[in-house]
Amino acid sequence: MFNSAFNVVTNDAIVCPQNKYVQNYIWNDYFHDSPLKSIEHDLHKDTVTLIVESISDIDDAWDQIKGTRKEKLAYFNKESDAYSYKLIFTGCVYFQQESIEASVDILSSYFLKSANLEYYEKKRGKPLYHLRIVLSSGYMDLIFSDLRIKRVTNKRITVKELKATNEDPWLKKLQSYASRKKFLLEDNRIDELHLKEFLSSGTDYEKCIAFYYFLYYTDYPVIDEAKVRLKGDFATSILMTDDDDFDDDRDCLKYLLIRVIGERGSLEDIPLLMSFYQVIDKYYRNDGQCFINAVLPKRIIMDAIEMIHSRQI
């Protein structure tokens, strides 16, 4: 029910845009694990173009190529352009990339609501999209108005025009889960009293479900619960030193709580978020820790702080 990267919940915060390239490629993570070959900027046209080699296309063609593994790898390296795409973001008003390594792969991507998105939409007077691409050593943010995708070789690609739908895929998954766990009401509504019990006594996964539901589907004041749980030992327990103790649900929950505070909190909550930011930064700078794992979580915290500040303007 939840997507994650670097232990951060990466569920889309918007409904799928009515763009056939987003629908067929971005929304379904078509370029998962694909190398990002280059980035091209055209400042005069507000365009950013990503050149991505599709691992999915290579996997599909692998068995059709004859030879040993070494010979196949040499072939795909030589014919890389035939398996590469141009992702052309037009009307791009914001670009930021933070990654530790020069060579990076695309892990996943998701759309989010952000203070920067609200600012540029007001400034430009038209709808825009904020896409965060999770990289193998960091992230990339783009705020843009439209997207086109084509092959590097200009060979035609076929994309389906998908019909607009009002169906909410996450809510549908929750209803299925609630039906199995016996808290789906007869009229297909979620039993919110049951979810409130999750907030206080559920597993970490059940808490994720409850916080996400109350944040995006109700006006229930879930902010106080979020602040209480981010304080003290609960917050610092994210920093596991033993891989055997790694708990993905616990870590995802913490960053989901940060999202709650960003969207529902106030200026008085910023010291709590900054304290958590400093704990993460200090931990991952220690010997033996991989600082890459701190890049995206720290950005999530800054997203929350920026959202709070934007509401004060």
Count of other CB atoms within 10 angstroms of residue 233: 6
Residue 53 in contact with residue 34, Cβ under 8 Å? yes
State what percent of residues in the chain have pLDDT above 70: 90
Average pLDDT, the chain: 87
d(CA 261, CA 304): 7
In contact, 105 and 35? CB cutoff 8 Å: yes
Once rounded to an integer, what is the mean pLDDT over residues 252-269? 89
Q: Indicate the helix (H) or strand (E) that contains 95.
A: strand 94-99
Amino acid occupying residue 261: I
For residue 61, pLDDT over 60 is answered with: yes
**Mean pLDDT, range 146-153, rounded to an integer:** 96
* DSSP SS3 for 103: coil
Domain ranges of the chain: 19-151, 169-310
Render pLDDT for 75-91 as a digit per residue (tens, 0 to 9): 999 999 999 999 999 99
